[in-house]
Amino acid sequence: MKLWEKGVSPHQKIDQFTVGNDRELDLILAKYDVQASKAHATMLGKIGILTEEEVEKIVDCLNDMTECISNELFTIEDDFEDVHSKIEFLLTSRLGTIGKKIHTARSRNDQVLVAMQLYLKDELAEIKGQTKMLFDLLLDLAKTYQNVLMPGYTHLQIAMPSSFGLWFSAYAESLVDDLYFIDAAYKVADQNPLGSAAGYGSSFPINRVYTTEALQFKTLKYNVVAAQMSRGKVEKSVGFGISSLAATLAKFSMDVCLYASQNFDFIGFPDELTTGSSIMPHKKNPDVFELIRGKCNKLQALPNQLAMMTTNLPSGYHRDLQLVKEVIVPAIQELKSCLEMAHFSLKDIKVNERIINNPMYDHIFSVDTLNELVQNGTPFREAYHQVAKQIAEGTFVPKKDIQHTHEGSIGNLCLDDIREKMKAIL
């Protein structure tokens, strides 16, 4: 069954090519289409298109579908093009003529838009929750290890003193930046497109304000053409948020892989969180973080992929837009799995608290030693050359009792202030 059929079915090859994996993806969107259909039916009752009794029967039937979906009993057979045709078929099978009225004053175009945006709102809220969990863990680790020094690097050369507290909280605060993008995407998705129909509105006197409130959208996407143009744009906005989070996770995962190697030996994990080698008995591989790195690097291409699929499309609907669904839905699931596994593994991280005692890291204290000379009256450039000469001659004695006091430094991590930033964005 296809909502647009007029008595002639398309060739099987056409059907297979145009539908693609929509049926599978639509199972994820099914509950949102039902949710929107209930609001739409109730609105039709309020403007006199449906009677009160008809609305009640439609809503009851849709509630049964919601329960079916929740119990994972809802299916979309090959006879149906998508979730929308299956839901209308079920309504018509049970209610007869009443079921045939559900599509009044709407199009598959705004059905897809509203279902997708409801889905994206839920998923973005869940991503924010998962990110907050990882954020909290990172800040807890930062507090636990705030006084444990580690080498800081530039150009992959030892540079200056850092700390595990500084390292963990750096990624925590980076997650706040990522949620600014996620929050922006949520605001773009939080505009009701229902009622825009095929992109040019309807001659029915529908009440779009009612459906906006019923579906808990913050506002309307007022202009019906703009509502249709938001398809692809909403997903791309989400793509930027996903990409930003993925970049942070990928960079952190690279650090973990580097620092867990025997050459660094900064951190480690219990055996059950690592994998081994088929021929090397000593191996403890950080496969989880390698896969997070790889998956998140792939996710960083998401905005560009979505842009390429929608670039140069004129206003109005085009079938190209169907393809954004098969990109954004798996990407969301991939990001959520990476967030989950990062948190799951990181809670058992082991920190080498004596790493800084290795003499190979003595030179990272050169700047602090230099700064002490400056504070005691030596001009900076003279102090620089003096310490450089000591290093070259092998006579350098590091000043290890360092004092960093400014905001955001080793000695003043501002963890509570970083928590407040996260609290504000949530």
Residue 377 lies in a domain: yes
pLDDT of 187 over the 80 cut: yes
Please tell me whether residues 327 and 227 are part of one structural domain.
Answer: yes
* Residues 348 and 366 placed together within one structural domain of the fold: no
pLDDT at 4: 40
Mean predicted lDDT score pLDDT of the chain: 93
What residues contact residue 22 under an 8 Å CB cut-off, 6+ apart?
81, 82, 322, 325, 326
pLDDT of residue 1 exceeding 70: no
Residue 115 has pLDDT above 70, yes or no: yes
Same structural domain, 366 and 400: yes
149 forms bridges with which residues in the sheet? 163
CA distance 98 to 94: 9
Range of the domain at 65: 12-104
pLDDT at position 275 is 83
Are residue 180 and residue 267 in the same domain, yes or no?
yes
Residue of 212, 216, 169 whose CA lies nearest to 192: 212
Q: Mean pLDDT across the stretch 187-215?
A: 97
User: Strand pairing of 157-163 and 149-154?
Assistant: antiparallel
Are residues 145 and 283 both part of a single domain? yes
Per residue in 124-175, pLDDT (tens digit) is 999 999 999 999 999 999 999 999 999 999 999 999 999 999 999 999 999 9
Q: Is residue 211 situated within a structural domain?
A: no
Mean pLDDT for 69-86 is 90
Q: How far apart are CA 192 and CA 247, in angstroms?
A: 30
Asked if residue 64 belongs to a domain, the reply is yes
Element (H or E) spanning 160, and its range? strand 157-163
Mean pLDDT value across residues 59-81: 93
Strand partners for 325: none
274 and 172: one domain?
A: yes
Task: Tell me if 206 is assigned to some domain.
Answer: no
Whose tokens are 């705004």? That residue is 110
Chain centre distance of CA 90: 34
Identify the three-state secondary structure at position 99.
helix
- pLDDT > 90 in the chain, percent: 83
Domain boundary among 333, 355, 377: 355
pLDDT at 277: 73
Q: Name the burial class of residue 368, with classes exposed (0-12), middle (13-18) and buried (19+) by CB atoms within 10 angstroms of its CB.
A: middle
φ/ψ of residue 231, rounded to 5: -70, 125
269 and 347, same domain (yes or no): yes
Question: Which of the pair, 307 or 4, is modelled with greater confidence?
Answer: 307
Amino acid at 218: K
Whether 5 is in a domain gets the answer no
The pLDDT, as a whole number, for residue 7 is: 53
Among 332, 355, 378, give the residue marking a domain's end. 355
Q: 69-73, 318-322, 404-408: which has the minimum mean pLDDT?
A: 318-322
Domain check: are 335 and 373 in the same one?
A: no
* 312 lies in some domain: yes
Return the SS3 of 158.
strand
Residue 38: which CATH number? 1.10.275.10
Q: Are both 126 and 229 inside the same structural domain?
A: yes
Q: Is residue 215 part of a domain?
A: no
Q: How many CB atoms are closer than 10 A to CB 195? A: 27
pLDDT score of 8 more than 60: no
Name residues whose C-beta falls within 8 Å of residue 31's C-beta, 6 or more positions apart in sequence: 66, 69, 70
- Mean pLDDT score, 315-330: 90
- Res 331 pLDDT > 90: yes
Q: Are residues 350 and 365 in the same domain?
A: no
Please name which of 193, 205, 214, 204 lies closest in space to residue 38, comparing C-alpha atoms: 214
Q: Which of 314, 336, 355 is the last residue before a domain boundary? A: 355
Report the CATH number that the domain containing residue 313 is assigned in CATH.
Answer: 1.20.200.10
CA angle 289, 292, 295 (to 5 degrees): 150
Does residue 24 sit in the same domain as residue 149?
Answer: no
Per the domain annotation, does 382 fall within a domain? yes
- Say whether pLDDT at 361 is over 50: yes
Residue 68 to residue 224: CA distance in whole angstroms = 33
Number of structural domains found in the chain: 3
Contacts of 413 (CB under 8 A, 6+ apart): 142, 143, 146, 165, 166, 169
> 332 with 374, same domain?
no
* pLDDT tier for residue 19 given thresholds of 50, 70 and 90: low
